[in-house]
């Protein structure tokens, strides 16, 4: 039995400690916003925040997250997260949408640590999140827009 | 422009009204779901009754909500928003009152008008085929609402105005919402003829309306196949053969069945399925499975052998797809022939949501599916064949697709049939969600075929080409599929030569030949299909000819495009917005390309910087597109940006290789794709047009590769003919 703190609520999970956090959150807790894309921390679709830092939940064992604050897209309501989501809407970033919660979480993690990133820092930090629709042009603009709104 | 149409009979209308009244009032409204119209399972719309249902595409509830039933899959390209825009335009609705339901699988009502009796999305046809149909649907509903108001107020119909979802009679100062008139309108006969707006009257078409799927795709509430849960559902993963053509000889499920949460292991034609309570249980079960593969019939060759075979075949003439004049003699006699051989690798679609499908048995004997269905009619038939059902017993709930790029329009309905086989193997005892891992998705094949081209030309004294021969070697996508009769004529698969056989350049002696190969590698369409390779080969080769002639690449193209005003139009617009002809640093270059696909015209000017070690960076791309009437300019811009990103990925990185019948790459670690730090700045310029709209999902993809390669060539003088071009 593991106790996870997700979006401020405690969840008791009966699962082996090596189970990836992604599948526990999706299939056992039932929060579906965090997506599976590769399973090997290559694409970023499963990005969520742990103690405010972006992490790839597909390779993170449950045991490593006990006692930490997990934030998924469903619980993203802090000032930075709100600014990121607003910027995403203003620029109409999503196409198919499947990778976008991971993109939004990565952008929130980036701006939480670095409120005024350079364009190169935005491009490099967001390079961890693959979008096959290639919304990258707007992703980068939206991170800039959110940073400006927060400044 | 005014179009008259014939509408549904009154009897059909009444039947539709009854169905809608029942179907649309059942069930929960799940935020963010691409909700499905008229399914009995409860995942339907929630309009308040009585519901006005004048045709297959429009439902208006007493609560003043308007549901548009979208016949096309939403896979990112904006088709849902486009369908709704067309209806809302003629209905004169308020955009916020519009919601979207995905159409059920029913080719009689929801066929793609360009595809005959088949429902499906592809070939950049959604807006093009539905442009009049959806507007007529909206206009019919509007006319009936007006008639209902005229009767209620006893005023002439001509005195009633409709705007932003309100009907008004200004003389008597009366007004009503659509919802208030829904019941009265539903009792009226459907008019036989209806007039449509002239383009000058458009209020919504041409606006950057907000996508209906915008917020659910930002806040994580959009529901994809991967997110579907059904009562008692098991998650299935499948151990697939490691090589194309291999089969299961035997398997040992003992260790698998010891895994907690694993419920069943079954043999199906495509491998061994492991069913568990959730994905991780099933995946651990699969890892513990012992399978003895029978590889006697497996493919033995790999990419190297295929390349060697294709190179030999380049030496032999093929079947002519186009032949004008006598290029063979001119090439044989010319003192100087410009020649290049091109090689294009297999490419995976690698949509972010790997293939998946939910299926369950229905009480009365049929089955019901939930997934991002792209060609519903073909999938319905394939599932029916698999399970011994009639197609009408196969109900499909089309959900948002997490990307497709052609993959979900699979000619064999491969992963859908696999889900049905699993349901059959467990005798329908529980709902099944088939989930492919990234590795399953990438190794399943169904790639963009590998191709080779040989391009040869002779220039005249003015430097313009007098002879052009383009020989293409590769697999046929359509052969052996249901699409063969439609696409293959006299040995030429149109998808192998499109973009080459219709070369727009005015060259008096011109020949395009095709050598169709056969391989055990499953292949299919990949965003922009034939143009993925023909666009690259023709547009880099014409640039090479311009260099050979010492001419400016833009001027050279213009000299050969006099009969093609729309090519010239996009070329001029892209060039105008770029810095074409301005001085540029020695390590930087500009390249141009222009190409038509799916009846849309795209030109690009790319600016590129060459870096240390041959690495290069694409800095800026000016895109001009002529897709007829621009229904939603922002979605067009998004499709140009994304479409060129997809093509740039294939230029810079994408490559599937095969060794001894097995796919080498298995995930994004080996199959490199474009990332944010490689995406250029993009400026999109849309040609103003009154022509009927054409597609935008695909036409940007084939143009970026040659534009960038031509920019590199402007720096280095080299022709880049082997893809991917990882270094210049």
Among the partner residues A97, A128, A134, nearest to B222 by beta-carbon distance: A97
Residue that is last in its domain, among B172, B198, B217: B217
**What are the E-state strand segments in A14-146?**
47-50, 53-56, 69-71
In angstroms, the CA B136 to CA B116 distance is 19
Query: Could you read off the pLDDT of B161-214 as tens digits, one per residue?
Result: 999 999 999 999 999 999 999 999 999 999 989 999 999 999 999 999 999 999
Query: Could you read off the pLDDT of B703-720 as tens digits, one per residue?
Result: 999 999 999 999 999 999
Q: Which two tokens stand for residue A85?
A: 């989501």
Give the CA dihedral B479, B480, B486, B489, nearest 10 degrees.
Answer: 40
Q: Indicate if B286 and B310 belong to the same structural domain.
A: no
In angstroms, the CA A127 to CA B675 distance is 5
Chain B residues closer than 8 Å to A128 by CB:
675
| Helix/strand/coil for B674 | coil
What's the pLDDT at B46? Answer: 84
**What are the E-state strand segments in chain A?**
2-6, 9-13, 47-50, 53-56, 69-71
- Judge whether B620 is closer than 8 Å to chain A, CB to CB: no
Give B148-183 as a DSSP string.
HHHHHHT--GGG-EEETTEEEETTTTEEEEHHHHHH
Which residue on chain B is closest to A103 by alpha carbon? Answer: B218
Whether residue B668 and residue A96 make contact (CB cut-off 8 A), yes or no, is no
Smallest Cα–Cα separation from B432: which of B417, B414, B454, B446?
B417
**Count of alpha carbons within 13 Å of B336, Cβ hemisphere only?**
9
Listed by start position, the domains of chain A span: 2-75, 79-150
- Judge whether B213 is closer than 8 Å to chain A, CB to CB: yes
Among the partner residues A32, A42, A123, nearest to B668 by beta-carbon distance: A42
For residues B76-90, average pLDDT: 98
In angstroms, the CA B127 to CA B71 distance is 11
Q: Indicate if B291 and B308 belong to the same structural domain.
A: no
What's the pLDDT at B483? Answer: 86
Q: Of B72, B209, B214, B219, which to mutate for an interface test with A (greatest number of A Cβ within 10 Å)?
A: B219
Q: B residues 247-266 near A, CB within 8 Å? A: 260
Residue that is last in its domain, among B162, B192, B217: B217
Among the partner residues A36, A133, A138, nearest to B403 by beta-carbon distance: A133
What's the pLDDT at B31? Answer: 37
Q: Indicate if B194 and B343 belong to the same structural domain.
A: no
For residues B264-277, average pLDDT: 98
Chain A residues closer than 8 Å to B400 by CB:
96-97
Whether residue A92 and residue B260 make contact (CB cut-off 8 A), yes or no, is no
In angstroms, the CA B312 to CA B277 distance is 52
What is the CATH number assigned to the segment(s) A79-150? 1.10.150.120
What's the pLDDT at B39? Answer: 38
For residues B680-685, average pLDDT: 98
Q: Is residue B721 part of a domain?
A: no
CA distance B44 to chain A (A): 20
Residue B157 makes CB contacts below 8 A (sequence gap 6+) with: B146, B147, B150
Q: Which residues pair with B119 in a beta bridge?
A: none
Chain B residues closer than 8 Å to A134 by CB:
641-646, 648-649, 674, 679
DSSP A96: S
Q: Is residue B465 part of a domain?
A: yes
For residues B24-41, average pLDDT: 37
What's the pLDDT at B508? Answer: 98
Which residue on chain B is closest to A86 by alpha carbon? Answer: B218
- Judge whether B619 is closer than 8 Å to chain A, CB to CB: no
In angstroms, the CA A12 to CA B319 distance is 67
Report percent pLDDT > 90 for chain B. Answer: 92
**What are the E-state strand segments in B526-643?**
588-597, 600-610, 616-626
Which residue on chain B is closest to A75 by alpha carbon? Answer: B219
Report percent pLDDT > 70 for chain B. Answer: 94
What's the pLDDT at B486? Answer: 86
Q: Indicate if B274 and B372 belong to the same structural domain.
A: yes
Q: Evaluate whether A142 touches A84 at the Cβ level (below 8 Å).
A: yes
Q: Indicate if B80 and B155 belong to the same structural domain.
A: yes
Q: Indicate if B166 and B60 belong to the same structural domain.
A: yes
Peptide bond before B317: cis, by omega within 30 degrees of 0?
no
Q: Evaluate whether B573 touches B622 at the Cβ level (below 8 Å).
A: no
B613: left (phi over 0), alpha (psi -120 to 50) or beta: left
Q: Indicate if B453 and B592 belong to the same structural domain.
A: yes
What's the pLDDT at B27? Answer: 25
Q: Indicate if B401 and B259 belong to the same structural domain.
A: yes
**Fold (topology level) of A2-75:** Ubiquitin-like (UB roll) (3.10.20)
Q: Predicted confidence band at B618 (pLDDT cuts at 50, 70, 90)?
A: very high
Whether residue A42 and residue B667 make contact (CB cut-off 8 A), yes or no, is yes
Q: Which two tokens stand for residue B159?
A: 């005195």
Q: Which two tokens stand for residue B511?
A: 């020949």
* The three-state (H, E, C) secondary structure of B481-549, written as one string: CCCHHHHEECCEEHHHHCCCCCCCCCCCEEEEEEEEECCCCCECCCCCCCHHHHHHHHHHHHHHHHHHH
Query: Could you read off the pLDDT of B653-682 as tens digits, one per residue?
Result: 999 999 999 999 999 999 999 999 999 999
- First and final CA of chain A: distance in angstroms? 43
Q: Indicate if B53 and B152 belong to the same structural domain.
A: yes
For residues B564-588, average pLDDT: 98
Q: How many CB pairs under 8 A join A and B?
A: 181
CA distance A106 to chain B (A): 12
Among the partner residues A27, A36, A97, nearest to B217 by beta-carbon distance: A97
B98-102 β-sheet, strand order: B58-60, B66-70, B98-102
φ/ψ of residue B271, rounded to 5: 155, -150
Among the partner residues B278, B279, B642, nearest to A133 by beta-carbon distance: B642
In angstroms, the CA A100 to CA A35 distance is 9
Burial class of residue A133, CB neighbours in 10 A (0-12, 13-18, 19+): buried
Query: Could you read off the pLDDT of B327-375 as tens digits, one per residue?
Result: 999 999 999 999 999 999 999 999 999 999 999 999 888 999 999 999 9
B501: left (phi over 0), alpha (psi -120 to 50) or beta: alpha
Q: Indicate if B465 and B422 belong to the same structural domain.
A: no
Q: Evaluate whether B148 touches B184 at the Cβ level (below 8 Å).
A: yes
In angstroms, the CA A52 to CA A29 distance is 20
Among the partner residues A19, A34, A136, nearest to B676 by beta-carbon distance: A136
Q: Is residue B728 part of a domain?
A: no
Residue that is last in its domain, among B387, B413, B435: B435
Query: Could you read off the pLDDT of B110-130 as tens digits, one per residue?
Result: 999 999 999 999 999 999 999
Q: Predicted confidence band at B21 (pLDDT cuts at 50, 70, 90)?
A: very low
CA distances from B456 to B58, B181, B536 (A): 54, 67, 15
In angstroms, the CA B620 to CA B603 distance is 14
Q: Indicate if B63 and B133 belong to the same structural domain.
A: yes
In angstroms, the CA A28 to CA B431 distance is 18
Residue ranges, chain A, pLDDT below 70 = none
The number of domains in chain B is: 3
What's the pLDDT at B45? Answer: 65
pLDDT above 90: residue B56: yes
What's the pLDDT at B591? Answer: 98
Among the partner residues A16, A45, A137, nearest to B352 by beta-carbon distance: A45
Q: Evaluate whether B29 touches B42 at the Cβ level (below 8 Å).
A: no
Smallest Cα–Cα separation from B711: which of B685, B669, B671, B680?
B680
Where b means 16+ CB within 10 Å and e means fewer, B430-468 reads bbbbbbbbbbbbbbbbbbbbbbbbbbbbbbeeeebbbbb
Helices B633-652, B701-716: axis angle to 10 degrees equals 50
What's the pLDDT at B196? Answer: 98
Q: Is residue B3 part of a domain?
A: no
In angstroms, the CA A87 to CA A104 distance is 10
Q: Indicate if B307 and B406 belong to the same structural domain.
A: no
Whether residue A134 and residue B646 make contact (CB cut-off 8 A), yes or no, is yes
Whether residue A134 and residue B645 make contact (CB cut-off 8 A), yes or no, is yes
Q: Residue B551 belongs to what domain range?
A: 303-347+447-716
Q: Which two tokens stand for residue A129?
A: 């999140």
Q: Which two tokens stand for residue B86?
A: 């067309």
How is chain A split among helix, strand and coil, in percent rounded to 5?
Answer: 40, 15, 40
Chain CA centroid to CA B532, Å: 13
Chain A residues closer than 8 Å to B667 by CB:
38-40, 42
Enclosing H/E stretch for B446:
none
Q: Predicted confidence band at B728 (pLDDT cuts at 50, 70, 90)?
A: very high
φ/ψ of residue A21, rounded to 5: -55, -40
* The three-state (H, E, C) secondary structure of B281-347, written as one string: HHHHHHHHCEEEEECCCCCCCCHHHHHHHHHHHHCCCCEEEEEECCHHHHHHHCCCCEEEEEEECEE
Among the partner residues A20, A88, A134, nearest to B218 by beta-carbon distance: A88
Q: Is residue B206 part of a domain?
A: yes
Chain A residues closer than 8 Å to B208 by CB:
92
In angstroms, the CA B178 to CA B60 distance is 7
């Amino acid at each position: 039995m593991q106790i996870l703190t997700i979006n401020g609520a405690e969840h008791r999970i009966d699962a082996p400690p090596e189970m990836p956090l992604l599948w526990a959150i999706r299939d056992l807790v039932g929060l579906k916003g965090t997506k599976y894309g590769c399973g090997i921390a290559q694409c970023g679709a499963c990005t969520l925040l742990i103690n405010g830092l972006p992490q790839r939940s597909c390779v993170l064992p449950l045991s490593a997250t006990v006692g930490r604050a997990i934030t998924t897209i469903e619980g993203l309501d802090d000032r930075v997260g709100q600014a990121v989501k607003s910027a995403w809407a203003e620029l109409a970033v999503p196409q198919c949408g499947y990778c976008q919660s991971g993109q939004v979480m990565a952008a929130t993690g980036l701006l939480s640590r670095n409120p005024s990133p350079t364009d190169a820092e935005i491009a490099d930090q967001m390079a961890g999140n693959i979008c096959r629709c290639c919304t990258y042009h707007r992703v980068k603009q939206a991170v800039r827009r959110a940073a400006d709104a927060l400044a | 422009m005014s179009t008259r149409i014939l509408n549904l009979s009154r009897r059909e209308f009444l039947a539709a009204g009854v169905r809608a009244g029942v179907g649309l009032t059942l069930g929960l409204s799940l935020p963010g779901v691409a909700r499905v119209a008229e399914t009995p399972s409860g995942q339907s719309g929630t309009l308040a009754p009585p519901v006005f249902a004048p045709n297959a595409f429009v439902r208006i509830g007493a609560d003043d909500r308007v549901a548009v039933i979208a016949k096309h899959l939403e896979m990112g390209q904006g088709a849902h928003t486009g369908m709704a825009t067309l209806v809302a335009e003629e209905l004169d609705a308020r955009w916020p009152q519009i919601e979207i339901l995905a159409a059920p699988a029913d080719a009689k009502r929801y066929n793609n008008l360009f595809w005959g009796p088949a429902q499906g999305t592809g070939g950049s046809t959604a807006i093009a085929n539905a442009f009049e149909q959806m507007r007529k649907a909206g206009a019919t509903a509007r006319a009936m609402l007006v008639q209902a108001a005229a009767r209620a107020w006893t005023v002439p119909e001509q005195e009633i105005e409709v705007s932003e979802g309100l009907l008004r009679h200004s003389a008597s100062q009366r007004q009503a919402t659509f919802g208030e008139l829904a019941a009265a309108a539903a009792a009226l006969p459907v008019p036989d003829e209806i007039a449509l707006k002239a383009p000058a009257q458009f209020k919504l078409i041409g606006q950057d309306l907000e996508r209906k799927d915008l917020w659910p795709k930002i806040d994580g509430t959009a529901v994809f196949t991967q997110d579907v849960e059904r009562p008692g559902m098991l998650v299935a993963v499948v151990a697939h053969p490691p090589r194309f053509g291999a089969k299961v000889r035997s398997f040992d499920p003992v260790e698998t069945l010891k895994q907690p949460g694993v419920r069943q292991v079954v043999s199906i034609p495509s491998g061994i399925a492991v069913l568990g309570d959730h994905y991780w249980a099933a995946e651990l079960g699969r890892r513990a499975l012992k399978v003895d593969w029978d590889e006697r019939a497996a493919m033995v060759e790999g990419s190297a052998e295929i390349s060697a075979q294709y190179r030999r075949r380049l030496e032999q003439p093929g079947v002519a797809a186009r032949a004008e004049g006598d290029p063979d003699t001119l090439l044989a006699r010319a003192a100087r022939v410009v020649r290049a051989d091109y090689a294009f690798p297999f490419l995976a679609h690698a949509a972010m949501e790997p293939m998946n499908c939910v299926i369950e048995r229905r009480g009365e004997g049929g089955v019901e599916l939930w997934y991002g269905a792209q060609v519903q009619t073909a999938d319905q038939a394939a599932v029916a064949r698999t399970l011994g059902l009639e197609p009408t017993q196969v109900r499909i709930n089309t959900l948002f697709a997490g990307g497709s790029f052609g993959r979900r329009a699979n000619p064999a309905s491969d992963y859908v049939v696999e889900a049905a086989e699993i349901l059959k193997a467990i005798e329908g005892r529980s709902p099944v969600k088939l989930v492919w891992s990234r590795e399953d998705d990438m190794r399943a094949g169904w790639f963009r075929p590998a191709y080779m081209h040989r391009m040869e030309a002779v220039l005249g004294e003015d430097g313009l080409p007098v002879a052009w021969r383009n020989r293409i070697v590769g697999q046929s996508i359509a052969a052996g599929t249901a699409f063969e009769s439609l696409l293959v004529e006299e040995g030429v698969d149109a998808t192998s030569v499109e973009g080459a056989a219709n070369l727009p350049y005015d060259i008096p002696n011109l020949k395009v030949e095709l050598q169709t190969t056969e391989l055990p590698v499953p292949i299919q369409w990949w965003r922009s299909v034939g143009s993925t390779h023909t666009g690259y080969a023709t547009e880099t080769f014409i640039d090479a000819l311009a260099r050979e002639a010492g001419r400016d690449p833009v001027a050279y193209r213009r000299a050969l495009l006099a009969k093609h005003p729309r090519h010239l139009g996009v070329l001029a617009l892209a060039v105008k917005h770029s810095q074409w002809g301005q001085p540029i640093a020695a390590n930087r270059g500009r390249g141009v390309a222009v190409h038509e696909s799916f009846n849309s015209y795209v030109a690009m000017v790319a600016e590129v910087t060459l870096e240390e070690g041959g690495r290069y960076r694409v800095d800026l791309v000016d895109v001009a597109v002529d897709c007829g009437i621009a229904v939603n300019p922002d979605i067009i811009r998004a499709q140009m940006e994304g479409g060129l990103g997809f093509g740039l990925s294939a230029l810079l990185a994408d490559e599937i290789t095969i060794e001894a019948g097995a796919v080498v790459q298995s995930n994004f670690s080996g199959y490199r794709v474009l990332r944010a730090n490689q995406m250029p700045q993009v400026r999109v310029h849309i040609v103003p047009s009154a022509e009927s709209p054409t597609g935008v999902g695909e036409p940007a993809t084939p143009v970026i590769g040659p534009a960038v390669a031509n920019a590199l060539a402007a720096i280095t003088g080299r022709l880049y003919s082997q893809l991917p071009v990882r270094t210049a």
